[in-house]
Homo-oligomer: A and B are copies of this chain.
Amino acid sequence: MAPTEGLHAARARGRNTRQLVHELLRSRIISLELAPGASLSENDLAAELGVSRTPVRESLILLGEEGLVDVYPQLGTFVARIRERDIAAAQFIREALECAALRDAVGRATRRDVADLRELLAAQADTERRDDPEGFFRLDEEFHARLMAAGGHPEAWPVVSQAKAQLDRARRLSLPLTQQLSLLIGQHTAVVDQLEQGDLDRADEALRSHLRLVFTDVQTIRAEHPELFAEPEAPVRPRREPRRRVDRAGAGEG
């Protein structure tokens, strides 16, 4: 595969290299293709992607602002380990914003909005039948985004999305484990039902318990994959990759 082709091809569509690299790395981090703690060298990434250090570096700075990577000057850049604090903060932000938007959506959402949401629910049910969790993730994202748009606050979605990224990293582990797609879809449906009926408090409660379920899921994951999480009170001083000994004789790694 030649990833540079994909990059340069997309550049024609009005997005610059920095944005492309940013999105690429972001998706790799959220999907855990890049595991927490992994080292991200500007040089290596630039070489791998066939671009210069500049856009890579700028992407890493942005990811650092999002809390997805930790940059230690003169030491290295690492995929951020999942921190209890960050998870809790993300959960708080998400819950506050999504529920507030939903409350605004009650009595404001049009029939068209509701119809669109129900269409998404049907599509989500499809992904369950096809056993396509990846597809569900995309539709889940869209569902929550549209819910906020129905409340008249589409601009706030990026903020939620950023918080969500922290949760999603751990969630990727939980979903295939629990296989709770039908449960999640049921909760989505409940939210839309209450929204349609105009019951403000019940809608809020439905969405809140849904978000909380995802949150508690993350907590259970922690016991199973402690290596992905940061120690509670041990500020991780990451280790540099031990240098591979350039030993001609036995270095035949293929």
Contacts and interface: CB of A to CB of B under 8 A. Distances in A.
A132 to B, nearest CB: 32
A230 to B, nearest CB: 14
B155 A86 contact: yes
Contact of A65 (B16, B65, B85, B163): B65
B100 A92 contact: yes
Given A73-B16, A96-B100, A97-B96, A156 B89 contact: yes
A113 interface: no
B93 A156 contact: yes
Interface string A32-61: 000000000000000000000000001001
A196 interface: no
A153 interface: yes
A156 B93 CA distance: 7
A159 B156 CA distance: 11
Contacts of A85: 155
A100 B8 CA distance: 44
Chain A contact surface mostly: helix
A89 B159 CA distance: 10
A155 B153 CA distance: 23
Contacts of A16: 73
A168 interface: no
Contact of A153 (B86, B89, B159): B89
Interface in A54-88: 58, 61-62, 65, 73, 85-86, 88
Given A89-B156, A96-B96, A96-B99, 6 more contacts: A58-B61, A62-B62, A85-B155, A97-B97, A159-B159, A159-B163
21 contacts: A16-B73, A18-B61, A58-B61, A61-B62, A62-B62, A85-B155, A86-B155, A89-B155, A89-B156, A92-B97, A92-B100, A92-B101, A92-B153, A93-B97, A96-B96, A96-B97, A96-B99, A96-B101, A97-B97, A100-B100, A159-B159
